[in-house]
Amino acid sequence: MVLRPGWQRDWTDLLVRMDDVLPGRVKEQASAEIIMLTHNQQLHEVNLGWHPRAEDLLWQPAAQETKRSENGALNVRYAREVKRGALTRLRELIAAHAPWLRIRYAF
């Protein structure tokens, strides 16, 4: 999940659309995995050459913190408070617009 201006509106639109078009048999089995963006400096540099406008959304130092991953790589992820707030808001949107959508995990 990438946090960008308008993400809440776009998620609302998606959830409403899913609720409108998915048959009951699909809703009964549906579940979501919410994975927040993790990024790193090397990928950031590559993306600046390939997709510089995308990096305006992906590389947000003011909203991110450094994290050392299990493989030893140095990454950035959304800061804990930013992530907590976004996950809380997304859960609220799901509850309001697609209450049938079970969340398997979110991180």
- CATH architecture of residue range(s) 7-106: Alpha-Beta Horseshoe (3.80)
In angstroms, what CA-CA distances link 1 with 21, 28, 33, 79? 23, 24, 10, 14
Beta strands 102-106 and 31-34, pairing class:
parallel
Task: List the structure tokens of 30.
Answer: 């549906």
Which helix (H) or strand (E) is 8 found in, with range? Answer: helix 7-21
**Domain residue ranges in the chain:** 7-106
The model carries a pTM of 0.85
Query: Who contacts 104 (Cβ-Cβ below 8 Å, separation ≥6)?
Result: 31, 32, 33
Reduced to 3 states, what is the DSSP secondary structure of residue 79? coil
pLDDT in tens, the chain (107 residues): 999 999 999 999 999 999 999 999 999 999 999 999 888 888 888 888 998 888 888 888 889 888 888 888 888 899 999 999 999 999 999 999 999 999 999 88
In angstroms, rounded to a whole number, what is the distance separating the alpha carbons of residues 96 and 105?
Answer: 18
